[in-house]
Amino acid sequence: MIIGAGLAGSVAASTLAQSGADVVLIDAAAIVPPSLRAEKLGTDILALFDRLGLGETVRAAATPISSVWIARFGRVMKRRSRLEYAFAYKDLVTALRANLPAKVDLRFGRVADIESGPDLQRVTLNDGSVVEARLLIVATGPSAAIHRRVGIDIVDATRDHSVCIGFYLKEPPRAYPFESIVYYGEHWNDRVSYISLFPIGTRMRANLFVYRTHDEPWMRDFRRAPAETLRQTLPNLEKVCGPIEIEGNVDVRPIDLRLTEGHERAGVVLIGDAYCTSCPVSGTGMHKALIDVERLCREHVPAWLATPGMGPEKISAFYADRIKADFDRNSLALSNRLRGLATGRGVRWTLARAAADARSAAAFTVHRGAQMAAVLITPIAEFLERI
Ligand SMILES: Cc1cc2nc3c(=O)[nH]c(=O)nc-3n(C[C@H](O)[C@H](O)[C@H](O)COP(=O)(O)OP(=O)(O)OC[C@H]3O[C@@H](n4cnc5c(N)ncnc54)[C@H](O)[C@@H]3O)c2cc1C
């Protein structure tokens, strides 16, 4: 039984059903609501979807992008050929749900009660119906309701880690000289990681990632006058992109990094954001969720079902899985490193930033000074980051 038919839950249901398991998949929402989440994926994540038999479903729900410009300081630094796929998250999840194998029993309803233990898991829905299964997989994203019911705590690794902002531009994709672009923050005190512009269908989408807290004046300014605040924060952006005019709602999503405690318990296993979250700037959230699904559903669950019981030792083996644990650890480390590079103080981060700045300056200039600086600073910065 899986609670949460989002990305991780739907892919897990599909993977388990492909291997012959009987699966009940439960979600609170019959229609996937619009929600700001991952909106682009690259070939590494698509390869995982392919391995899980869902590559074609994803390709059909997404807009392919074949090239990206990398820009900063009002100049284009690189023009890269890179295959990516862009989508509205709700369309991706809707497509995954629509392509579930017939063997998956998809139900909608609110969970009223959960009894969990080493042999049987029992979930009662608000309409009085009861579902029993040997294993309960919780894939409810960052929502804490199910965690509370089974006695698992969600703890903050970092509150107000970053903010992700999504909006559509007025002009269609054909109005821009590029197919997609990633434009990096210009100065460390602008606390911008980057903005990326890319097509979803016939519209041009923007994702802006900043290291701000949700209650500071910049956020209020952005909500009130987004285009103007963007112009002031990245004064050279329009030299590359042309005039930025925003159309429709601006979605603002503060990001806390979250972990769980007390999760090694009989009968219940957490996957995706329900287990831990990462910063969207790291671009690892979907990958992390799919690694969870692949390791759990291809490796662990078939072995668990082959022997009696669902004790905590089985569940703990999944959390200790080397591939999963390494990915989670690296994802958290990357989230913190990128934040440090953009906002960190002290010698370590100042040098790391200087090295990154010198490298990006060297990438688009033949100026010997920048190239020498990059060569000299980079090893010192890398050494300081390692200690
Ligand atoms: C703003 C933002 C931007 C991001 N950008 C990127 C990016 O660029 N690249 C990247 O790789 N990752 C990104 N991520 C992370 C990525 O989107 C997530 O890691 C991934 O979507 C998590 O999927 P999930 O299945 O764990 O959760 P979800 O897809 O959220 O699924 C949770 C499901 O559980 C259901 N549910 C919740 N509570 C209950 C309940 N009590 N009962 C029943 N059902 C319930 C919900 O309805 C939902 O269907 C971003 C995240 C955010 C927030």
CATH of the domain at 291: 3.50.50.60
- Cα 345 to ligand 1 centre (Å): 32
Map tokens 């739907």 to a residue.
10
- Considering the domain boundaries, does residue 68 fall inside one? no
CA dihedral 376, 377, 382, 387 (to 10 degrees): 110
Q: Whose CA is nearest to atom 16 of ligand 1?
A: 285
User: For the domain that residue 168 is a member of, what is the CATH number?
Assistant: 3.30.9
Burial class of 49 by CB neighbour count within 10 A (0 to 12, 13 to 18, 19+): buried
Q: How far apart are CA 219 and CA 211, in angstroms?
A: 11
Within this chain, do residues 100 and 199 fall inside the same structural domain, yes or no?
no
Q: Among residues 238, 255, 272, which one ends one of the domains?
A: 255
H-helix or E-strand containing 41?
strand 40-42
Q: Which pair of tokens denotes residue 39? A: 């909106």
Q: How far apart are CA 329 and CA 286, in angstroms?
A: 15
Residue 352: per-residue pLDDT: 79
- Cα 380 to ligand 1 centre (Å): 38
Within this chain, do residues 305 and 377 fall inside the same structural domain, yes or no?
no
Q: Whose CA is nearest to atom 9 of ligand 1?
A: 283
Within this chain, do residues 28 and 146 fall inside the same structural domain, yes or no?
yes
| Ligand 1 within 6 A of CB of 286 | yes
| pLDDT tens, the chain, 387 aa long | 999 999 999 999 999 999 999 999 999 999 999 999 999 999 999 999 999 999 999 999 999 999 999 999 999 999 999 999 999 999 999 999 999 999 999 999 999 999 999 999 999 999 999 999 999 999 999 899 999 999 999 998 889 999 999 999 999 999 999 999 999 998 878 899 999 999 999 999 999 999 999 889 999 999 999 999 999 999 999 999 999 999 999 999 999 999 999 999 999 999 999 999 999 999 999 999 999 999 999 999 999 999 999 999 999 999 999 999 999 999 999 999 999 888 888 888 888 777 777 776 666 555 667 667 667 766 665 665 565
- Considering the domain boundaries, does residue 73 fall inside one? no
Within this chain, do residues 246 and 137 fall inside the same structural domain, yes or no?
no
Rg (CA), the chain: 22
- Cα 138 to ligand 1 centre (Å): 12
- Segment 84-98, tens digit of pLDDT: 999 999 999 999 999
- Considering the domain boundaries, does residue 78 fall inside one? no
Within this chain, do residues 26 and 92 fall inside the same structural domain, yes or no?
yes
Residues 255 and 37: beta-carbon distance below 8 Å: no
* Number of domains observed in the structure of the chain: 3
- Segment 113-122, tens digit of pLDDT: 999 999 999 9
Within this chain, do residues 174 and 113 fall inside the same structural domain, yes or no?
no
Within this chain, do residues 32 and 150 fall inside the same structural domain, yes or no?
yes
Q: Whose CA is nearest to atom 51 of ligand 1?
A: 37
Question: Which ligand 1 atom minimizes the distance to the CA of 4?
Answer: 34
- Cα 234 to ligand 1 centre (Å): 29
pTM: 0.93
Within this chain, do residues 295 and 172 fall inside the same structural domain, yes or no?
no
Q: Which pair of tokens denotes residue 62? A: 């997404």
Strand order in the sheet with 136-138: 104-108, 23-27, 2-3, 136-138, 268-270
Half-sphere exposure of 49 (CA within 13 A, CB side): 23
- Considering the domain boundaries, does residue 205 fall inside one? yes
Name the residue range of residue 226's domain.
160-255
Within this chain, do residues 144 and 177 fall inside the same structural domain, yes or no?
no
Map tokens 């440090």 to a residue.
340
- Considering the domain boundaries, does residue 174 fall inside one? yes
Within this chain, do residues 114 and 147 fall inside the same structural domain, yes or no?
yes
- Segment 218-255, tens digit of pLDDT: 999 999 999 999 999 999 999 999 999 999 999 999 99
- Considering the domain boundaries, does residue 81 fall inside one? no
Kindly report the number of other CB atoms within 10 A of residue 252's CB atom: 19
Residues 157 and 255: beta-carbon distance below 8 Å: no
| Ligand 1 within 6 A of CB of 111 | yes
- Considering the domain boundaries, does residue 274 fall inside one? yes
- Considering the domain boundaries, does residue 76 fall inside one? no
